Chain A
């Protein structure tokens, strides 16, 4: 069955925006400077980013988009500062205790669909996140 014919997965929200804690999940190749970089030729691994991560601790490893802007300001693809500002302003309930970085360039799509994505979802579900904002792609 081609992937485009699969059902659209849908979980309705059970809280209001201002009550909801948000996690960021990005396929823009974001990771901590100390973590192993992604393999630009294809990588199905993910990186766990702590909830209190600072923008300057993050970097991008990706060969399939021009990330000069993200290198200068990670918020272009991973809006951690903007999310924190919205939390401080009471627009959202908070910023989650963990976020996830992924590269998203891979030929092994079935593995992503059957193993990787469910594992990443489990990590988010086991955190304090009520909601996820995804970026890149």
Chain B
């Protein structure tokens, strides 16, 4: 059966680890709704996208999630409490 090479950008790395996609990229501390960054943060979005595509490109053992911090991104962590309560 034919497949297609994929990469996912995740803001929930632990859930992603359990789901087990072949390639994943986690921009650290990005909140849900900001997978690529904040609104109109064009340079940041572009950088995150390019880094996720580098994960797509890398030939390595499937299942690895690459993590990357982005100092240009700031969001408070209040959303984490809301998700813990759900």
Contact = CB atoms under 8 A, between A and B. Distances in A.
Contact of B8 (A3, A8, A92, A135): A135
B79 A66 contact: yes
B4 A68 contact: no
B45 interface: yes
B4 A133 contact: no
B4 A131 contact: yes
A121 B50 CA distance: 23
Nearest to B40: A73
A42 to B, nearest CB: 14
Interface string A80-107: 0011011000011000000000000000
B21 interface: yes
Give the dominant DSSP class at B's interface: loop
A65 B45 CA distance: 19
Interface string A4-38: 10101111111011000000010010000000000
A75 interface: yes
A32 B79 CA distance: 27
Contacts of B40: 72-73
Nearest to A22: B53
Ordered nearest first, which 5 A-B pairs have the shortest CB separation?
Answer: A11-B3, A73-B39, A134-B8, A65-B32, A10-B62
Interface of B: 2-12, 15-16, 18-22, 31-40, 42, 45-46, 49-50, 52-53, 56-57, 59, 62-63, 79, 86
9 contacts: A66-B31, A66-B32, A82-B45, A121-B3, A121-B4, A130-B4, A132-B4, A136-B11, A137-B12
